[in-house]
Each structure stands twice: as structure tokens, then as C-alpha cells.
Structure 1
Amino acid sequence: SWLSDLVPADHRGRYFGKRNMLAGLTTIAATIPPAWLMDRAVAVWAVPRATVFAMLFGCAVLFGVISFVLLMRQPEPPMVVNPAARTMSIKAMAGLYKKPLGDPMFRPFLMFSALFALGQFVAAPFYTVYALENLKLGYTWLQVLGGIASLTALLTMPVWGYVADRLGNKPLLVLAVVGVSLTPLPWLFCNPERATATVLILAANNLFGGIVWAGAGLLGFNMLIETSPSEGRSVYVGALSAASGLAGGIAPVLGGLALETYQALPVANWGVPLNAYQVLFVGNSILRLLSLFLLLKVPSAARATPTQVLGQLGAIRVGTLRQMRRLQHGSDERAREEAVIRLSEARVGLAVQELVLALGDPSLRVRQRAAEALGDIGDAMAVPALLTALRQPEAGIVREAAEALGRIGSTEAVPSLGEVALSGGRSARLAALHALGRIGSREAEPYLLSALEKAVDSGEEELAEAAVQAIGLCGITAARGRLLQMLETVQPPLLLSVIRALGELGDPDTAQALEQVLRRTQDAAVITAVCVALAQCGRAEAIGEMYEAMANVASRAGRRQIANAIGSLVGSDEVYRWLTADSMGREATIARAIQNLGRGAKAGGRIAQHRRKVLAHRAAQCFINGDLQGAAQLLTRISPHPGGPAGTVLDLARVRLRAREPSEEEFLVVLAAATVADGANVEGKA
């Protein structure tokens, strides 16, 4: 509680990381010499062990007194005290002490801490006993191994603090708890007969343990500060200390009882390969893991999940950390710009804070690159800073900030982007309109409708096109009437955007107007866009015209889009799968689909079923031989009168394919219709 008043909230991770690092250095320096003295005095100088312990305890008392004197010299900031607390009654005071237990923010963390303390101390005293008695390790080796853990902890503590300030405490604490839950398990593989291997296993375990225990300690303290209110925090800290202390005091007793109980059992006859200590260590690991279920229920301000944090940490490379340091401390403009570019390529969320600070860099190029990098990373933490840049034209990065906000996709940015779309410079307006389209929020309706009218009135076609695209992506149905008017008056490329927007809106009432455009145009791009829009509007009645139009489109890209649109209206999603399959597997996939026709349909009796199988087999052979026309004609005969959209396609194909070789896309449409018709036969029989 006292330290939380001394250290600002946004610096606690780094401060306590450094403080604990210094404490770790002191621990290393203070433990190895006494351990060496203990081994040397007992083994060589024949000093009684009790005498050596008494000497060491005396030194500990001396250093405790020195610590107390230094603590008394620590300045204390003014404490915020509720005036009502000065005249608090005994009943009110009792209520104050009950408050932590009733706080829904704090109670889950209190329960987690108690269970975690139980898991931390239930076997804690017995690791040393096991190492001394069973593994035959000396005090010096024990302190060397402890020094490894302490050294690792002090080196990684600042990293935990740095990462916690950016990614949040809870997800990192979850990862740390998982880590400390694994540390008891390597003890199972230690053997006094393999002394070297045992030391190496324990050294590696302490190396890992130093990392995760450093995180657990630091992040646990940060979570205490996060889940407790500033007013009355000392009561919360006291409650946590009491719960943890009680659990930690009971835990070794329970561990000892479990150990003695297990040793008294005839486990040798049960075939259990573990001794009593090892069983206790396994239980210790399980108990720590169980505390995770309570930790996951603790409320937290962190937005990222443990899985997301683990992914971000896994993406960090040494080069990324070096670039972050260059951006923090570099004084050369080109070096800072290069660092921003590299961080953008790495897309590491850990760098967001440095990039946000770079939005205020004196160099325009660095500011521009920083805004672009924040958009590439896509972390919502950058939204407030980008909104500030968006509202400051003098910063010169309005366009880049708008683009970044669009890529992040936060609806919080809609009003500010809407204002820029109406009143900014041309490039800024264009970027803001594209950003609103990417966000896709209907909150943008008034801004987009106004921006469209403004662009049309001023003859700014590119801006009008961007506004129309955004209207479609945001689903602004109020613009339908205006778009239908434009459908009759504008020309490509704006016409294409209008058609696509009507398709995005998906209103069946606009289908007739789109069909009229399809009938009068010869432009392949317009034909393609209209066919796709008709499919989005669910206009199955237009399948005939769409099928005819596909034959008039020369480009493969256009035919593929129309084929996929017809496939969706027919009721098959297979066309898309066939079109996107790799060239090596596509032929086999299509041949298999043809051969499967007729196998499930029993309508018409055995003779009709046999006929369909024969036709399907012959169609597959034609397809394999490259005869698409013959294969398609046979497909139209498998289900002669299916009806519905599939029947429309098959009826048209019977007539059209007598005179021409179908394109690959047209053939796939016929196959999709035959597949749907074959499925209808199965359902009809059922």
C-alpha cells in the first residue's frame, strides 16, 4: 500500500522490476559465502553445525537492524485518509475489514493468492531436505543453484515489468503461474547415482524457475494494486497478507503430514515408481495448476488474452528489441525512421508505446512511418494517439492517421473520421472515407451521406467513388434511393462502385434495376459487377441472363466471378471450392464430383439409377479426356427435369452447348447445377 503511493501506476512494472533485480543481486552475494562456510566449517574445521548456524543467524540480525535504520530514513508521501475514518466506530471498523471479502474485483484475486500460496509452500521446505538427504548435495551446491535462479530472476525482472506495462498483468501472470507449476517436475528425474546429470537438471530447472518466479512475484504484486482501490488499500493488502500467510503457514504442515502418511503406506507393494518426496512434488505441481482456475476469474484491465500475449512474445526477436531500443534512444533521423520501418514489418504489439511516442517526433517522415506502423500492428491501444494526430493538421499525418485507424477498425474513431471526410483536404478526405468503409459501422451514416452529396455536387468522382464504397461496406440502407438514381446517370468507374454498393446492401428490391443495367451494357466489367450484385441480392430469376452474360465476358477473371455468383444462386458452394483449388488437385476433385453423381438418387427405380451412373461415368471420362462439351452435355441428361435455379441452368446448357464449347467456368456451373439436382432427387425420394 505504501509503495503504491510512492510509485506512479504506469511505472510500477519497470520500477519494481529494477528494485527486485537489485534485491536479487544482494541475495546472490549474501547466500553463497555462508553456504561455503557451512560446508567448510563442518567438513574441514570440525565446527559443530549448530555453532555455524548461530553465527549466521547473528549476522542476519545485524543486517536486519541496518535495514530497519535505512527504512526509517525513507521519506513518506502524504497519505489520503478518509476523514470519516478518524471517528470510525468499532462496528464500522469491522465492516471495513470485511470490505475486501465483499469486493467482487478483489475477492477472486484473494482466493487465488491463498490457493497459490498453499501450492507454493506445501512442499517448499522439503526440496532442500530432499536435495541434502536423498540427492547428497552440499550447502554450496544448493546456494549455487539458488544463485542461478536469483541471477536469472534479476536479469528478467525488468523485462517482466516492461512487458507488463504494455500487455497487462493478468495474462502474463497466467503464463508465469503455468511456468511455476512445471518447476517441481524435473526433480522426479534427479538421481544421486548420476550426480552430474542431477546438477545439470536442477541448474536448467532453476534457470527456468528464476524466470517464471520473477514474473509471478512481480505480476502478483501488480495485480494486488490493480484489483484494490487506492482508498483503504492497506486493508486490502492486510487481507491478502493474512490469507496468504495463513495458507503458507498451514501448507508445510499439510505437506509434512502427506509425506509421513505416504511413507507409512505399503506403496512398495503397489508398484508405484515414486518415493514419498516425488509424490509430494507431483501434488505440488497439480495444486499450483489448480490455482489457475481462480486466477482466470479475476477481473482485469488487460485486453489481451494469455494466448494472444504468448503469440506476441513468441513473435519477438532480438532484432525487434534492438529496433525498439534504437527508437527509444536514437538521435539520428534516418536511424529512427529505419527502426520504425523494421518494427512495422515485425508487427509486434510490444512496440506500440514507442511508436505512439514517435507520432510526436520532430521528423515528418518518422511521424508518417510511425502512424503506418501502428496501422499495420492493429492494436487498439494506439487509437487515442492516432485520433489526436487526426485532429491536428499541423502534424502533417492526417492521411496516415486515418488509414491507420481504418486498419485498426475501432468504432471510437468514426466521428473524428467523419469530420475529416467532410472538411479535410482531398487526400485526407479520401483516406477517411476508405477508413470508414473498413470499420464498417452504421454510425458513419450521416457523414457518408453528406460526403457523397458533397463529392457529387463538386464533381469529385474519386471521392464519390470512395463514399459509395464505404456506404456499401457499412450497410447504409438509407442511401439506396440515391444509389438507384446514380445507377442511371453515372459511368464507370463510379458506376462499378454503385453496383457493388447495391450488392453489399443486398436489397432484393434493387434487383430489377440491376437487371436493366445488365441488359443494356456491353462493358465486361459492368456485366461482372452486376452479376455478382444480383447474386448478393438473391435474384435467382436472373440466372438465365447471368448464364448468357458469362459467355460474353472474355476475361477469365470476370467469368470466374460470374460462375461463383451463379453457383451461390443455384445453391452450391462447390463452385468456389473448385475455382480456388490448386491446378494439380482440381482435375481429380472435379472428376470425383462427377463420378459421385447418381449414386445416392434412387428416384425412378433401379433402371433410372443405373442410367444416371452410366451417364456420370461417361461424363467423367469425357472430362478427363479434355472434352468439356461432351461432359457438360452428359451432365444435363443425368437429371432431366429438376426444376428450380439448377433446372434453369441445365435447360439453358442443353440448348447452348450444342453449338459451342463451354469455358471451364461454364462447365463448373453446369456441374454445380447437376450436383444440386442430384441432391434434390435424393431428398425427394427420402
Structure 2
Amino acid sequence: MMKDVVGKETGKYFGNRNKILGISTLLVMLGCGFLLNYFQRIDLLFFGFLIIFGIAFVARLVSWNFLKKHYDPKFKCEEKNQFTFAQFIRAIPRSNFGKFVVFIALAMFGTYIASPFFSVYLLKNLNLDYATWILVTISNPLSTLIFMPLWGKFADKFGNLKVLKWTGALTFLIPILYFFTMFMSGWNVVPLVAYLFAIEFFSGFIWAGFNLSSVNFIYDAVSRQKLALCIAYYNIFSGVGVFAGATIGGFISSMNFSLFGISSILFIFLLSALTRIVFYFMMIPKIKEVRKVQRYKSGEFRNELKSMFVPIYNRLGIKSI
């Protein structure tokens, strides 16, 4: 629907929309973190989770009620625009969108080998309490909130593929940075938490661009008549990648081994980094930009980044760099 409503500036729209979602996420994470920390102190952690899940259930019901009021016009799909899942798979070698879908599926596979276990690692291996854990993990949506509009404007100018190339090339660094915490066992809690906060802030910056541009690339690459089917098949591939990656990561982490001093959970961080970078270089050169965009010039991103903070600099009386 948003392809029809928004028009060409999808990056700007979704950047601003996700900014609102980011604020909501920050507030909810803060509330949940303090709630869990309180119930942990009084040894009633189960009831803390019970309250959170209950609130989430009610929120879903309220959301569903609003969704029912949404006007959804009937959509007529001509037979020539319909194709089966098998036909879609057979067309992948010749289809730019098909190659993009495979890239996303492989990226999700590599990502979810480790992604579900970062929080486990923070809580169980690094022994963070819930308040500290929230302080660390909240930097991710905070970073997303700050940089999502920037990525949206940049993608509208220079194309979603440009953003995918830049951010996709950097995602492998996130599990690598987590892996380095194995050398920080003797650190004081303050520098350790600061390091973890920086990792999650960097992660939010990277994934804000990747997630935004991957969704918007679909709107650029697919016609309105084929959009529903293409999104469905995209979600199937992406879901399979997520499931397979998380399953393999869970299986390896449950083996509880140590190899050259590397525990099983640290091993999956390395494996995730390796698969991310391998699949990136394997697939990204095969994908082409599908709309006319401005030619990127050196320093453009830096200029866009500076423009974000000029109002803040002016308000604080700071001369921008």
C-alpha cells in the first residue's frame, strides 16, 4: 500500500516512520528493563516476565482493533501477473530481484547464527544484570532512531543498492567485536559496558541502513501488480534463512565445547562473521540498481552526516567541523 501512497521518496518516509517506532521501542525497553531488574531483586523474576507478556498481549489486541478499521480496497490481479513459487525459483538465475532475495536469505542465515545469542552471552557469560543489559541493548534502537532518517535521504539520492553495499559489507564486524570480549575478562565493569554499548550503537547504525534499504529495494524492483506475491516469496526465503541460521547456531552453542580456548558461543560469533562476509561477496556483485539515481561523489555521505547535526551545533553554539 505504501508504494502507492508515498511515491518516490520511500526512503525518507520509512526513515521518519521508523524514527517514531524507534522512540516507542526505546521507551518500552527502558520500562521492561527496570521492571525486570526490580522483580529480580525481590526474587520474583517470573512475575516480571508474566506482567511484560500480559502487557504485550493487550497491546497486540489494541493494534489488531486499529487494523480492523483500516480501509483495504479490493485488489484485482491479472492472470499474467501471477506466478507460482516454483516459477519464481526457476527464474532466480535470470532475475535481478530473485538474486536480491537469495542475498537477503543468505544474509539472514549468517546473521541469525549469532544474533539470537548476543543477549544470552551478555546475561549468562558476562553476567550482566537486567538493568545493565538494557543499558547496553538500548543503544541499538537509539542509534537506529538517530541514523534511520539519514539512510533514508541517502538512499533516495543514491539508491538503495548503494546503502545495501555499504552496510552489508560491515555487518560481519558486529560478531567479531563481540568475540573480542573474550580478552576482557579482567576488565572493570564500566569500560566493558561502554565497549558493549559502542558495539550495539554501531550495530544500530549499520542495520538501520540495511533493513531500510532492503525493504525499499523491493518497492523499486517490483511492479505494483506483482508486489504482494514478491513480498510473500521474499519473506519465505528470509524466514528460511532466519530459521536455518538460528537452528545451527543453537545446535552449536548447546554443544558446550572449547576449542583453543574458544567456547561454543564465541565460536558461533566467528562462524556468523565468516558466513556474512562470504555470502556478501558472493551475491552483492550480481545485483543491479533498478532506478535512476545520482552518481555518488566522494564526501557526500560525510556532508549528509554533518547536515544532521548542524541544528544541534547551532543550538549549542558549537562550530561544526
Asked if these proteins are the same fold (TM beyond 0.5), I'd say: yes
Alpha-carbon distance between aligned partners in 1 of 2:288 and 2:307, rounded to the nearest angstrom: 34
Q: Do residues 275 (structure 1) and 263 (structure 2) align? A: yes
Q: Shift in Å at residue 197 of structure 1?
A: 1.8
Q: Which residue of 1 aligns with 2:125?
A: 134
Q: Which residue does 1:297 correspond to in 2?
A: 286
Report the alpha carbon displacement of residue 175 of structure 1 after superposing the two structures with TM.
Answer: 0.6
Equivalent-residue separation in structure 2 for 1:316 and 1:19 (angstroms): 19
Over the matched positions of the two proteins, sequence identity in percent amounts to 22
Q: TM-score, normalised by structure 2?
A: 0.86
Asked whether 1:96 is paired with 2:84, we answer yes
SS at match of 1:206: helix
Per-residue deviation at 1:311? 4.6
**In structure 1, which of residues 171, 184, 208 is the aligned counterpart of residue 162 of structure 2?**
171
Pick the aligned partner of 1:221 from 211, 215, 218: 215
Q: Report what 1:249 is aligned to.
A: 243
Matching residue of 2:23: 25
Distance 1:152 1:167 in 2: 22
**Which has more radius of gyration?**
1
Residue 272 of structure 2 corresponds to residue 284 of structure 1: yes
**For 1:487-523, what per-residue CA distance to the aligned partner results, in whole angstroms no more than 9, with x for missing partners?**
xxxxxxxxxxxxxxxxxxxxxxxxxxxxxxxxxxxxx
How far apart, in 1, do the equivalents of 2:298 and 2:125 lie?
37
Q: Report what 1:204 is aligned to.
A: 198
Whether the 8 Å contact between 2:252 and 2:265 is mirrored in structure 1 is no
Kept in 2, the 8 Å contact 1:153–1:214? The answer is: yes
Per-residue deviation, 1:320: 10
Aligned ranges 1:618-637 → 2 under 5 Å = none
Which letter maps to 1:288?
R
Alignment equivalent of 1:312, drawn from 292, 300, 303: 300
Please report how far the alpha carbon of residue 319 of structure 1 lies from its aligned counterpart in structure 2 after TM superposition: 6.5
AA aligned opposite 1:141? T
Structure 2 contact 18–145 (Cα < 8 Å) conserved: yes
Let me know the Cα RMSD of the aligned residues.
2.6
Q: Is the 8 A contact 2:154 2:301 kept in 1?
A: no
Q: Equivalences for 1:442-591 in 2 at 5 Å?
A: none
SS in 1 for 2:36: helix
Contact 1:100 1:235 in 2 (8 A): no
Q: CA deviation at 1:305?
A: 10
Q: Identify unmatched segments of 5+ residues in structure 1.
A: 86-91, 324-686
Residue 193 of structure 1 is matched in structure 2 by 186
- How many Å separate the matches in 1 of 2:306 and 2:294? 23
- TM-score using structure 1 length: 0.42
Partners of 1:13 and 1:279 in 2: CA distance: 36
Partner of 2:105: 114
Whether the 8 Å contact between 1:115 and 1:247 is mirrored in structure 2 is: yes
Map Cα deviations across residues 596-631 of structure 1 (whole Å, 9 max, x no partner).
xxxxxxxxxxxxxxxxxxxxxxxxxxxxxxxxxxxx
CA distance in 2 between partners of 1:320 and 1:160 (Å): 11
Question: What do residues 72-122 of structure 1 show as CA deviations (whole Å, max 9, x unaligned)?
Answer: 22333563x23448xxxxxx97x4333433151211011101101112211
Give the deviation of 1:296 after TM superposition.
2.3
Find the residue that maps to 2:46 and give its secondary structure. helix
- Alignment partners' CA distance in 2, 1:112 and 1:161: 21
Higher RCO structure (Cα 8 Å, ≥6 apart): 2
Do structure 1's residue 16 and structure 2's residue 9 form an aligned pair? no
Residues 257 and 263 in structure 2, CA contact (< 8 A), matched pair in contact too? no
- Aligned counterpart in structure 1 of residue 54 of structure 2, from 58, 67, 88: 58
Q: Which residue of 1 aligns with 2:232?
A: 238
8 Å contact from structure 1 (residues 172, 309) kept in 2: no
Answer whether contact 1:120 1:288 (CA < 8 A) is retained.
yes
Gaps spanning 5+ residues in structure 2: where? 312-321
Q: Residues of 1 paired with 2:163 and 2:248: CA distance? A: 30
Q: What amino acid is the match of 1:300?
A: E
| Contact 1:32–1:143 under 8 Å retained in 2 | yes
SS state at 2:84 partner: helix
How many residues matched? 304
Supply the AA of the counterpart residue of 2:38: R
In the alignment, does 2:66 pair up with 1:70? yes
Q: Using the alignment, how far apart are the partners of 2:303 and 2:265 within structure 1?
A: 39
1:37 aligned partner = 35
Deviations 1:311-330 (A, max 9, x none): 5324657379869xxxxxxx
Q: Distance in 2 between matches of 1:34 and 1:114?
A: 31
